[in-house]
Amino acid sequence: MPGIHLALIQLQVGADKSANLKNAQAAIQKACSNGANLIALPEVFNSPFGNEYFDHYAENIPGESTEMLSEAAQQHGVYIIGGSIPERDGGKLYNTCTVFDDKGQLVAKHRKVHLFDVDIPGRMTFRESDSLNPGNSLTTFEMPNCKVGLGICYDVRFAEMAQLYAHQGCHLLVYPGAFSMTTGPAHWELLTRARALDNQIYVAMVAPARDEKATYVTYGHSLAADPWGKVLVSTQEKEDILYADINLDYLEEIRNQIPIRKQRRTDLYGLCIRLALIQLAVGANKSANLKSAQAAIQKACSNGVNLVALPEVFNSPYGNEYFSNYAENIHGESTKMLSEAARQHGVYIIGGSIPERDGGKLFNTCTVFDDKGQLVAKHRKVHLFDIDVPGKITFKESDTLSPGSSLTTFDMPNCKVGLGICYDVRFAEMAQLYAHQGCHLLVYPGAFNMTTGPVHWELLARARALDNQIYVALVSPARDEKATYVAYGHSLAVDPWGKILASTQEKEDILYADINVDYLEEVRSQIPIRKQRRTDLYGLWTSGADGRI
């Protein structure tokens, strides 16, 4: 596959912003003449580094500096990671990295998450927080065949951040940085190589050139390290341009040789859940459907997921005329494939649903397998899809299927998941009970139609998430316009704030979303509706003579 030819520009930065921009522009042109297709500039490339400078040199985005980056990216047809600049936004200052694609479009903006506040007695005291505000999110962007994660300088000290980026499927981490002469000689290269080795990923650090006369003297020594922890390229303290090739085949080779990604004990670490939603094209050939699902699971697992969800009726066309013909016992052909895939890849799999045959009845059933391939949950669709929208759609699942009679949850390390299937999502009480039982995530494999999907699908997902301050994922089959039942598609995941984390259109796709239980608790503490509920009025939460919960 085509590789990434990365250029790291160790730039001399002075007090003249215009001169800094011209210097950066010339260096970008030189790097492009040497075949680079991804260029990275250093931290605060348009300004001297220091609290006394940030406010004076700060710009809005877009502004003078980012407009230069956009024009250069478009002119040369390259991606540019614009180091960072002091950004002014809404009366606040940030240390911000912008990324422009080869058309000159802004594709990412990362605000430094961890501010540089240190006190090393007798050697150095610095408090970025005296003038800057921290960012509040991790930032990635995608090039053809390469996913890149961003940090700025002090961010590199936080191993958790790099781990999450690797967990999200990044191949390369880039940290524009300006380490000092106190910490640089001891920590700069060590941190770069450690992040690369620990996460089996490429890591690049790009610094300003050293200016001994500056109020803040940077270490320089830009470098790139490979997934083996080997320094690919490095320089000393002066202006320079370094070049490194990001070889994704080599990255996979290293990961196969020392397979720590598969050997991690995530049950002990408490990292967030990396969820993959597989929007699968489903046809009349069951064997082909299973092979397609198997391949998609493998692809999702190569991107560092630990929970995979398939769509409703993933092994069969959807419709009463198909359910009996495609129905299986559990364990049957479809669930055996799920079990083997879960064990092989060491992930949990929510097996969408299949038509299940049991005791002379048919059910629409979701099975869940843990990372050892063991069946840990089985949910039968509780609310059958019986509707009549005159002139548009009439459907009665109850003509062939029987309803389930229980709610279903399962536990992963540090995350409790509640299950529903399609029409179940319309019943707010079900989601409320799951939240009351301590679920962090609700997953609904579903196949909404072209009548209700465009209006209700996203709305219901966001409503369930916001009302219950919980993560919600809906995973659909891909749309097939020739099918007797045409699914809407548009799989998505929503966070506890009601924000869409990931979504797609109607075609086959794999979506990825991070389920961060700490963020869930943060949202619940900010708007504490769980503590403010008037359960004395609702009758939902306390046991009564009629057995309501």
Catalytic residue among 422, 439, 458, 506: 422
Residue 415 falls in the annotated catalytic set: no
pLDDT greater than 90 at residue 546: no
Looking at the chain, the domain(s) classified CATH 3.60.110.10 span 4-262, 272-531
Catalytic residue among 112, 286, 378, 381: 381
* Residues 350, 366: Cα–Cα separation, whole Å: 7
* Residue 213: predicted pLDDT: 94
- Residues in the chain, overall count: 549
Mean pLDDT, the chain, as a whole number? Answer: 93
In single-letter form, the type of residue at position 352 comes to G
Overall fold of domain 4-262: Nitrilase/N-carbamoyl-D-aminoacid amidohydrolase (3.60.110)
Q: pLDDT tens for residues 347-372?
A: 999 999 999 999 999 999 999 999 99
Residue 422 falls in the annotated catalytic set: yes
The secondary structure of 27-81 as a DSSP string is HHHHHHHTT-SEEEPPTTTTS-SSHHHHHHH-B-SSSHHHHHHHHHHHHHT-EEE
Q: pLDDT tens for residues 260-285?
A: 877 766 556 555 788 999 999 999 99
CATH 3.60.110.10 fits 272-531, yes or no: yes
Cβ atoms of 445 and 279 closer than 8 Å? no
Residue 272 falls in the annotated catalytic set: no
* Residues 527, 40: Cα–Cα separation, whole Å: 40
Per the model's pLDDT, the better-predicted residue between 328 and 164 turns out to be: 328
Quote the tokens at residue 42: 């250093």
Per the model's pLDDT, the better-predicted residue between 400 and 529 turns out to be: 400
pLDDT greater than 60 at residue 547: no
Per the model's pLDDT, the better-predicted residue between 26 and 145 turns out to be: 26
* Residue 268: predicted pLDDT: 61
Q: Exposed e or buried b for every residue in 510-536, given b needs 16+ CB within 10 A?
A: bbbbbbbbeebeebbeeeeeeeeeeee
Q: pLDDT tens for residues 107-138?
A: 999 999 999 999 999 999 999 999 999 998 88
Catalytic residue among 312, 356, 458, 506: 312
